[in-house]
A and B are shown apart, each in its own frame.
Chain A
Amino acid sequence: MYTPEMLESIKAVEKTRGKRMKEQHPRLTPQEKEALLKSFHPDFRPDTMRKVTVGPSKGETMPHELVDLLEARSRLDPHTFSLEAVAHDVEVLVIGGGGAGTSAAIEAKLAGANVLQVTKLRLGDANTMMAQGGIQAATKPNDSPMLHYLDVMGGGGFVNKPDLVKALVHDAPLVIDWLEDWGCMFSKEADGALVTIHGGGTCRKRMHFARDYTGAEIMRTLRDEARNIGVPIIEFSPAIELVLDEEGKCAGAVLTNLETGEYCVVRARAVILATGGFGRLHLAGFPTTNHYGATADGLVMAYRAGAPLIFLDATQIHPTGVAFPEQIIGQLVTEKVRGLGAQLVNTEGEQFVNPLETRDAVSSAIIRECLDRQKGYTTGTSQPGVWLDSPMIEAIHGKGTVQRELPAMYRQFKRFDIDMAQQPVLIYPTLHYQNGGVEINDLGETSIPGLFVAGECSGGVHGRNRLMGNSLLDILVFGRRAGQAAAAKSRSVKIGKLTLEHVKKYHAELDQEGIETDRISPMLLPDYTRKVPRADRG
């Protein structure tokens, strides 16, 4: 429910609505857009990033919060930690309990490998569970993998790795078929045809969905099946370091039991890292749509072991995350709201950006309005925001449109006594997706023999910008490929003596660069204790 102060602010929005309905806010010129991005988009602002000074991608620019974790020491003392007591000896170790990890574990198991899956929280506590929108695949007769390829490349700025994109679009229909075979319930027409819609940047309607619980439906189905086929799982036991053998092959990981603090050594002939994204680093102070455990652990571990990272200077900020109520700060307000005509309005009731500019420009304009021009509304928990004038939707398209077209959104706000068909909603940009990650090939292999990476933790598939619906696809395409490839590889590999030499070397490099720090990484979980909630702790 809105506070009296907020209701007062909403009056200013209502007052100008009639006039604004006839207005179209001018589009930015290319020069204006460039200046706007440079000043306010975290990707372009020089103060949000720096060059990393150690490791395989030394000299690359990345967000401060990530560099802080890369320029940090291991949780283990590599000089004293003993790898002698191996608690689990397996063929394939899968690290991560989201869609990428679980599809990899299923495929590796079905390929006959002795698999172990470990994860930080529960199996399925993951970004995969939260995806609502959909999953892309060229399954319709008017579509083709080639058209899908073009869309992915165009969206990514034509810098995506072609082999990965080829694998993505080639396997896409196979993934939908695979999911259906496990009993996933996609939304269908009466004749069984899959319902598909457009997403930003698609030339064909190829977004498949399961009502607005697409990720949850995929995740809970895979979780159920992994249990059915007996994939052993250790929950609440994140990996904190990869282990190599003397030849530099990946040979397992050290885990820690989050509840007891106990360490545990896993030896494996192949390791699949599927630890997801980095939203919980709250880059540049942003709230996030991501789950609690999205803290870039996989990036840190792979990097320390010697695997290069790519495209990490490109982060996906979504312009419209919830800014109020506090309970759901950072969660997505779908782009469709703007698509149906809702304008973005400041506390004086003025538009300040055309709502259909690109995501990066809209985000920057909102940030400028709040932080620079001071024309945003700041809530009781210090969260700034601007009004998204959702009542315009029914003023334009007629009564009932909001509930018909945006049922989940409507319910989301209704839970907190806000009727978005009648009242505008307060929004602010939110940190959504990690475009880059560990460099892989089309089987998910990295430069380290025996180390595979799949899902949001990897980079290159989406170039500098992922299109909606291609991430759920990515995690299953590369999860499955990595699972199969790791199982095959594990048959022929001989693991030598386990070592943490790479950690010693990494620490030495930190010393050499004069980085004296008591920071340790991976982070594992953000710390929100004893703090008054703020924008950056959604």
Chain B
Amino acid sequence: MAQLQAVRIHIMGKTYSVPAALTIMKAMEYAGYKLIRGCGCRGGFCGACGTIYRTPGDYRIKVGLACQAVVEEDMYLTQLPFFPAQAATYHLDQAKPALSQLLKCYPELSRCLGCNTCTRTCPQELKVMDYMAAAMRGDIARVADLSFECIMCGLCASRCPAETVPYNVAILARRLYGKYMAKKAQHLAEVVSKIKAGEFDASLNQMADQNINELKKLYNSRDIEP
């Protein structure tokens, strides 16, 4: 096994030497932290592990997901596992897929300055500012599309000078789109009504009563859609 190189990192200001090439998350564990906050899926999907850091000689704050980003020499880091962002509650059934709905839930939306900090902050590299602009135009379909890969880590909200909450605006827009704007699937409606009418019950029961040998025969002779 190749010898691991060491790098120096500063976790909340305290210095540790850790093997190079580790993710920030594994480096923190190597240093002795047993994570409770700031660690969920460990695979870049859940947004639990948002981290902000800075490196010497650079005034800029950088961000990353601790489970995906690799340690750098002399990085000063802290996790931001929780951010007290506001989240509106609403009745989807009574909601409208329109700008008025977005503003009703998030009136501060209109304070967006278009500064692009959110886009620069997004560890998923989404065009956050663009979807916020779409939100301000009431273009819900566009918000839904541009924000689809959002993991709701909250880093955008933590850095927004206008104190908007882009990721919560985005999920509202996606749900409005999914419920009211996406075209309905005819084939789904048909099969659902058949199931509710009990149309498959007899055949399913018959299937479940088959002995194993009969089932195997049916299985082995079923035709496969190309």
**Is B58's beta carbon under 8 Å from chain A?**
no
| Contact stretch, chosen from B7-15, B36-44, B110-118, B155-163 | B36-44
Evaluate contact between A192 and B185: CB separation under 8 angstroms.
Answer: yes
**Is A173's beta carbon under 8 Å from chain B?**
yes
**Is B219's beta carbon under 8 Å from chain A?**
yes
Evaluate contact between A220 and B183: CB separation under 8 angstroms.
Answer: no
> Given A180-B178, A182-B179, do A291 and B188 touch, yes or no (CB 8 Å)?
no
How distant is the Cα of A125 from the Cα of B182 in the complex, in angstroms? 28
Evaluate contact between B218 and A150: CB separation under 8 angstroms.
Answer: yes
**Residue numbers in A under 8 Å from B208 (CB-CB):** 149, 162-163, 165-166
> Given A129-B45, A183-B179, do A527 and B34 touch, yes or no (CB 8 Å)?
yes
Instruction: For A203, give its contact among B22, B39, B223 (CB under 8 Å).
Output: B223
Evaluate contact between A532 and B89: CB separation under 8 angstroms.
Answer: no
**Residue numbers in B under 8 Å from A3 (CB-CB):** 2
How distant is the Cα of A300 from the Cα of B205 in the complex, in angstroms? 34
Who on chain A is nearest to B65 by CB? Answer: A327
Evaluate contact between B34 and A220: CB separation under 8 angstroms.
Answer: no
**Residue numbers in B under 8 Å from A150 (CB-CB):** 207, 215, 218-219, 222
Q: Scoring B residues 165 to 206 as 1 if CB is less than 8 Å from chain A, else 0, what string do you get?
A: 000000100111111001111111111100110001101110
> Given A150-B219, A177-B188, do A192 and B41 touch, yes or no (CB 8 Å)?
no
Evaluate contact between B40 and A183: CB separation under 8 angstroms.
Answer: no
Evaluate contact between A139 and B34: CB separation under 8 angstroms.
Answer: no
**Residue numbers in B under 8 Å from A139 (CB-CB):** 185, 187-188, 191
**Residue numbers in B under 8 Å from A289 (CB-CB):** 43
**What's the least CB distance linking A371 to chain B, in Å?**
15
**Is B46's beta carbon under 8 Å from chain A?**
yes
Number of interface residues of B (CB under 8 A): 77
Evaluate contact between A291 and B204: CB separation under 8 angstroms.
Answer: no
Evaluate contact between B68 and A327: CB separation under 8 angstroms.
Answer: yes
**What's the least CB distance linking B11 to chain A, in Å?**
13
> Given A182-B179, A192-B182, do A198 and B225 touch, yes or no (CB 8 Å)?
yes
**Residue numbers in B under 8 Å from A537 (CB-CB):** 26
| Contact stretch, chosen from B72-80, B130-138, B144-152 | B144-152
Instruction: For A380, give its contact among B1, B69, B182, B184 (CB under 8 Å).
Output: B1
User: Which of A170, A228, A236, A527 is the most central at the interface, judged by chain B CB atoms within 10 Å of its CB?
Assistant: A228
> Given A170-B200, A227-B87, A533-B22, do A185 and B177 touch, yes or no (CB 8 Å)?
yes
Q: Scoring B residues 43 to 71 as 1 if CB is less than 8 Å from chain A, else 0, what string do you get?
A: 11110100000000000000000011110
Evaluate contact between A169 and B204: CB separation under 8 angstroms.
Answer: yes
How distant is the Cα of A190 from the Cα of B149 in the complex, in angstroms? 21
**Is B104's beta carbon under 8 Å from chain A?**
no
How distant is the Cα of A531 from the Cα of B32 in the complex, in angstroms? 8
Evaluate contact between B48 and A529: CB separation under 8 angstroms.
Answer: no
**Is A518's beta carbon under 8 Å from chain B?**
no
Evaluate contact between B184 and A121: CB separation under 8 angstroms.
Answer: no
**Residue numbers in B under 8 Å from A230 (CB-CB):** 89
Who on chain B is nearest to A184 by CB? Answer: B178
How distant is the Cα of A185 from the Cα of B195 in the complex, in angstroms? 23
**What's the least CB distance linking A355 to chain B, in Å?**
20
**Residue numbers in A under 8 Å from B189 (CB-CB):** 177
How distant is the Cα of A525 from the Cα of B29 in the complex, in angstroms? 13
**Is A448's beta carbon under 8 Å from chain B?**
no
Q: Scoring A residues 359 to 371 as 1 if CB is less than 8 Å from chain B, else 0, what string do you get?
A: 0000000000000
**What's the least CB distance linking A56 to chain B, in Å?**
26
How distant is the Cα of A129 from the Cα of B29 in the complex, in angstroms? 23
Instruction: For A124, give its contact among B21, B46, B205 (CB under 8 Å).
Output: B46
Evaluate contact between B40 and A185: CB separation under 8 angstroms.
Answer: no
> Which residues of A (391-408) have their CB < 8 Å from a CB of B?
none
Evaluate contact between A183 and B178: CB separation under 8 angstroms.
Answer: yes
Who on chain B is nearest to A378 by CB? Answer: B1
> Given A166-B208, A228-B91, do A258 and B36 touch, yes or no (CB 8 Å)?
yes
**Is A188's beta carbon under 8 Å from chain B?**
yes
Who on chain A is nearest to B194 by CB? Answer: A173
> Given A5-B2, A146-B204, do A203 and B225 touch, yes or no (CB 8 Å)?
yes
**Is A122's beta carbon under 8 Å from chain B?**
yes
**Is B101's beta carbon under 8 Å from chain A?**
no
Instruction: For A130, give its contact among B43, B191, B216 (CB under 8 Å).
Output: B43
Evaluate contact between B215 and A125: CB separation under 8 angstroms.
Answer: no
Q: Scoring B residues 16 to 42 as 1 if CB is less than 8 Å from chain A, else 0, what string do you get?
A: 000101110010011111111101111
How distant is the Cα of A266 from the Cα of B31 in the complex, in angstroms? 36
**Is A45's beta carbon under 8 Å from chain B?**
no
**Residue numbers in B under 8 Å from A251 (CB-CB):** none
User: Which of B41, B148, B222 is the most central at the interface, judged by chain A CB atoms within 10 Å of its CB?
Assistant: B41
How distant is the Cα of A224 from the Cα of B70 in the complex, in angstroms? 31
**Residue numbers in A under 8 Å from B216 (CB-CB):** 154, 158
Q: Scoring A residues 315 to 327 as 1 if CB is less than 8 Å from chain B, else 0, what string do you get?
A: 0000000000111
Who on chain B is nearest to A179 by CB? Answer: B178
**Residue numbers in A under 8 Å from B19 (CB-CB):** 532-533
**What's the least CB distance linking B121 to chain A, in Å?**
17
User: Which of A216, A225, A230 is the most central at the interface, judged by chain B CB atoms within 10 Å of its CB?
Assistant: A216
Instruction: For A292, give its contact among B40, B152, B182, B184 (CB under 8 Å).
Output: B40
> Given A193-B185, A227-B87, do A125 and B36 touch, yes or no (CB 8 Å)?
no
> Given A185-B178, A221-B175, A289-B43, do A146 and B200 touch, yes or no (CB 8 Å)?
yes
Evaluate contact between A122 and B222: CB separation under 8 angstroms.
Answer: no
Evaluate contact between A532 and B4: CB separation under 8 angstroms.
Answer: yes
**Residue numbers in A under 8 Å from B175 (CB-CB):** 182-183, 221, 224
**What's the least CB distance linking B128 to chain A, in Å?**
16
User: Which of B23, B30, B178 is the most central at the interface, judged by chain A CB atoms within 10 Å of its CB?
Assistant: B178
A and B contact pairs by CB, cutoff 8 A, 22 listed: A125-B46, A129-B40, A139-B187, A140-B187, A145-B200, A145-B204, A150-B219, A162-B208, A177-B189, A180-B188, A182-B92, A183-B178, A192-B184, A203-B222, A228-B90, A292-B42, A326-B23, A327-B23, A328-B43, A381-B4, A527-B34, A529-B30
Given A170-B200, A213-B149, list of 12 further CB < 8 A pairs?
A: A3-B2, A146-B203, A150-B215, A176-B188, A177-B188, A183-B175, A185-B178, A194-B187, A227-B87, A328-B43, A380-B21, A529-B30
Residues of A whose CB lies within 8 Å of any CB of B are 3, 5, 121-122, 124-126, 129-130, 138-142, 144-147, 149-151, 153-154, 158, 162-163, 165-166, 169-170, 173-174, 176-177, 180-185, 188, 190-194, 198, 203-205, 211, 213, 215-217, 220-221, 224-225, 227-228, 230, 236, 258-259, 289, 291-293, 325-328, 331, 378, 380-382, 415, 525, 527-533, 537-538
Residues of B whose CB lies within 8 Å of any CB of A are 1-2, 4, 19, 21-23, 26, 29-37, 39-46, 48, 67-70, 87, 89-92, 144, 148-149, 151-152, 171, 174-179, 182-192, 195-196, 200-201, 203-205, 207-209, 212, 215-216, 218-219, 222-225
